[in-house]
Amino acid sequence: MTTARHDVPDADPFTRPYWEAAERGRLLIRRCAGCGRAHHYPREFCPHCWGEDVRWEEASGRATLYTWSTVHRNDLPPFRDRTPYVAAVVDLAEGPRMMTELVECAPDGLWAGMPLRVTYRDGKPVFRPGGRAGS
């Protein structure tokens, strides 16, 4: 019997490239050829102008911290075994805002605008502090 996971969405054919890239340590975003803006999570249509000419693009993995909260209790696996953890919203360097999780960080040492770098855990993109020039 397998334990259901609640942190990785079921990959449908459309989002499969995103999860396959994450397995290889790459973060994909979608960019609209019509208006030039990027978005996340992946959508088939541009959420800014409704354009259909939207393509996959590899993100730099750089982001800044927008907001966060420390989660002390979550009964859904696998979170149950990880509390406390830091749930966060980050602004990717390419523009899109992304819900994620912070790792390798001290919850007391976080600040809005903090530079972050993407990293991967169990094939899922999460973020850690870092990303200053040269790193």
For residue 19, the minimal CB distance to Zn ion (Å) is 23
Nearest CB to Zn ion, comparing residues 49 and 76 = 49
**Is the previous residue joined to 41 through a cis bond, with omega within 30 degrees of 0?**
yes
For residue 39, the minimal CB distance to Zn ion (Å) is 8
Nearest CB to Zn ion, comparing residues 53 and 104 = 53
Distance between CA atoms of residues 37 and 93, nearest Å: 12
Q: Hey, what are 26's tokens? A: 């790459």
Q: Which of 46, 92, 102, 114 binds Zn ion (CB under 5 A)?
A: 46
Residues 22-41 that bind Zn ion (CB under 5 A): 32, 34-35
- Angstrom CA distances, 102 to 25, 43, 119, stand at 16, 24, 9
Sequence-distant (≥ 6) Cβ neighbours of residue 24 within 8 angstroms? none
For residue 40, the minimal CB distance to Zn ion (Å) is 14
Binding of residue 90 to Zn ion (CB under 5 A):
no
